[in-house]
Structure formats: C-alpha cells, structure tokens
Amino acid sequence: MTTGPMRATPRIALAHDWLVGMRGGERVLDRLARLFGPTRLYTLVNNRRFHTDAIAACDIVTSPLQRFPGAAGSWRRSYLPLMPWAVQRIRVEPCDLLISTSSAVMKSIRPPAGARHLCYCHGPARYLWDQLEAYGEGAGGGLRRIGLRAMRSRFQAWDRRTAGRVDWFLANSRHTAARIAACYGREAEVVYPPARTERFTIDLDVRREDWYLLVGALEPYKRTRLAVETARHLDVRLTVAGGGSQLRSLRSIAPEHVRFLGRVDDDELADLYRRARALIFPQEEDFGIVAVEAQAAGCPVIAFAGGGALESVTSATGEHFDAPTVASLAEAIGRFEARQSRGEFNAEACRANALRFSEAAFDEAILRQVRRLLDDPDRAQAERPFSP
C-alpha cells in the first residue's frame, strides 16, 4: 500500500472525468493517487490501457456509460449528451473527503452525506462554454458544432447548478479561476498542476538545433495549422509530435521542411525538448503543461498570449504573440530570433522558472488545501451558494 502524509487520517476518495488517455489531467490524478491511494476512484468510463501504477492500484468504479459501445474508446465524445445523466448515477460510498478532478462533468458528482467535496478544476468545459467554434473546426466540424449548440444552454444551466455540490474549488491557473467565477459564480484558489520537472531535464551534452517544435494533440483548438502555415511562410523547419484527427489534413498542406512524428514516448520527448530551438505553443490552454515541460528541459517557448501561458512563460524564458494569425506568430519568431542571437535565453533560466510548477510544489499545496478543508468545514460550507 502506498503511504502518503495523510494516509492514516480521513477516508479520501477520488473522482475523475474519464480514464481514456494520459494527458495533463491524468498526471494530476496520478499525483493525487500517490498521495491518498490506493483508494476508491470514480469515473465515467475506464480504458485500462491508460493507467499509471498509482491509478491502477485504486478500486475503480465506473458509471453506467461504461456499458455503452465505444464509450471508453473512440466514440466517447458522441456520448456527451448522456454524461450528466451518467455522473448523477454514480453512488459514492461513505468517506470524509471526495476529491474530484474535472474539465467536463465530474465536478457535478454528488458526495455522500457528511463528506466534503474538493474539486481540482481544469476548467469549465470549453466546448460548451467559451470555445465552441474552435471545437467545431476540422473534419465533421459542422455536425459537431450543431450538436454542441443544441445542448449548450441546457448543459450550462445544469453545470452551473451542480457546482453547488463542491465545497471548495481549486483552479489550475488564474485564467481558470476567472472562468470558474464567470461560469459558476464561485471563488477558486490556484494550485498549479504538477510538471514532471525531474523527468524532463537539461543535458549539457546535447546541442540545440535549427528547428522549432510543437507538441500536442492534433485537434482544431490546438492551432497546429497556424504553426504549420507560419513555418511555410517563414521557410523555417518545424517538428510536430502528436497524433489526432487533423493529422492527415495537416500533412496535406505541410511543406517538406515540416515533419510529423506522431505520438512519441517520454524518452523521445525529452530528447526533442533538449534539441529544439524553441517550442511553439499556439493554442489557448487553461494551463498548458507542455510549455512547462519544455522549459524544464531548458527549451524556450513562443506562446500565444492567453490562458495559462501568460503565467508559465515569462519574458526571460520566451516570447508571446497576441493574435492567432500567421503575421503575429511570425513577428514573435522574429523577435525570438533577434533575442536568441544576443544570448538573452539560457537553459538554466528556463528550468528555474519551470521548477515553480514541480510535483513537490503541487504535493505540498494539495496537502495544505486538504488539511484546511477538513479542519475548517464551517468556512467551506459558507462558500457553497447552492444545495441541489
């Protein structure tokens, strides 16, 4: 049994939207499972291929959606209209504290009588609150956009109402805290997510090369097309690591000096971070762990000036660009090149900035929040405006 600092005290259960991949949200869940597990873990659907050791050690309980064809696989997004129904049918066994991690519906899980509910929120669902048009781009985008518009108002009303099931919100950035306030009318304290700064490190024996790097899922809202078009415009080399629904269409428009690697493992990714001239981060993310991982390996970042990148990328570790256009990104790359030629970026400064978001910093902050919630339940109750 994993032993964490809180293991001998209250009964703590975990909840997570879905276990169908290993991205930033699952890295947060993994840290929580290491701190408080093995314990019971509630989720909509479970694909066992995507478990860390700590997550696999938990007693995983799924919703009725698990029995639907393809719900734990490629058809998951098709079941979005059923997710509120599914999460409300999860019955949480008695515990003292329920910690949910959510970017969709799991913040709406109903805690058992007498339990406190702490939600680590990656953001209200972007595709139904403020980025619907971005999720309606690409193959099948028109039909997807129609479906999202049809359920938007009903989902938002339910999402806002069931925020009252949370005693205390934690946000993964100040950007997300502002979105929680706007969507739910709730205060949230910022606890930055854990970056694997010990996994991605500087290697002084590896020299930086003359190509730029983009890492992430190849989906419309990630704006990979913007980076590809800018690479064509500037005639600069770009390496793209990741897979997704846009891979085929991006390859069809990419010049020869843009290469696509598909999904890469952590060893390959660490090598890419160490060799790239800079990471291009063109999307608006609630936080954006990739930008921090790159800096941990000494790689500067050229990021869109929105979302969590305004908090994780500083003037000493990269450049920001203001508009999601080729002209704006190209200008930022030009500024970066000029500063790079003057020696204004160095690996040590990038890594020092990334260490603000280490796993150890996350663990310490989470334990402090859990103790506060359990030691001061009257304050938490006062923060809850709804009781649905």
pLDDT of residue 381: 46
- Mean pLDDT value across residues 226-238: 98
- Mean pLDDT value across residues 99-121: 96
Which secondary structure element, helix H or strand E, spans residue 99, and what is its range? strand 97-102
Roughly how many angstroms between the first and final C-alpha of the chain, as a whole number?
36
Of 154, 164, 30, give the one whose Cα is nearest residue 101.
30
**Least confident interval from 123-127, 272-276, 339-343:** 123-127
pLDDT of residue 76: 82
pLDDT of residue 1: 34
Name the most confidently modeled range: 283-287, 350-354, 379-383. Answer: 350-354
If one compares 2 and 15, the residue with the highest pLDDT of the two is 15
The Cα–Cα gap between 199 and 29 comes to: 17
> Which pLDDT band holds residue 149 (cuts at 50, 70, 90)?
low
Query: Which conformational region is residue 216 in: left (phi greater than 0), alpha (psi within -120 to 50 degrees), or beta?
Result: left
- Mean pLDDT value across residues 124-144: 59
Q: For 7-58, how does the pLDDT look when each residue is reduced to its tens digit (9 = 90+)?
A: 457 899 999 999 998 888 999 999 999 999 999 999 999 998 878 999 999 9
Q: For 260-286, how does the pLDDT look when each residue is reduced to its tens digit (9 = 90+)?
A: 999 999 999 999 999 999 999 999 999
Domains of the chain: 12-194+358-381 (3.40.50.2000), 211-357 (3.40.50.2000)
Distance set, CA 218 to CA 81, 123, 146, 281, 283 (Å): 24, 20, 22, 12, 11
pLDDT higher than 70, residue 359? yes
Q: For 48-105, how does the pLDDT look when each residue is reduced to its tens digit (9 = 90+)?
A: 887 899 999 999 999 999 999 998 887 887 888 899 999 999 999 999 999 999 999 9
> Which pLDDT band holds residue 148 (cuts at 50, 70, 90)?
low
- Residue pair 165/186 in contact (Cβ under 8 Å)? The answer is no
The Cα–Cα gap between 363 and 35 comes to: 8
pLDDT of residue 248: 94
Q: For 159-209, how does the pLDDT look when each residue is reduced to its tens digit (9 = 90+)?
A: 999 999 999 999 999 999 999 999 999 999 999 999 999 999 999 999 999
Q: Which long-range contacts (CB under 8 A, 24 or more apart) does 227-230 make?
A: 227/280, 227/282, 227/329, 228/253, 228/254, 228/258, 229/253, 229/326, 230/280, 230/326, 230/329, 230/330, 230/333
pLDDT of residue 300: 98
pLDDT of residue 147: 56
**Residue 215, burial from CB neighbour count under 10 angstroms (0-12, 13-18, 19+):** buried
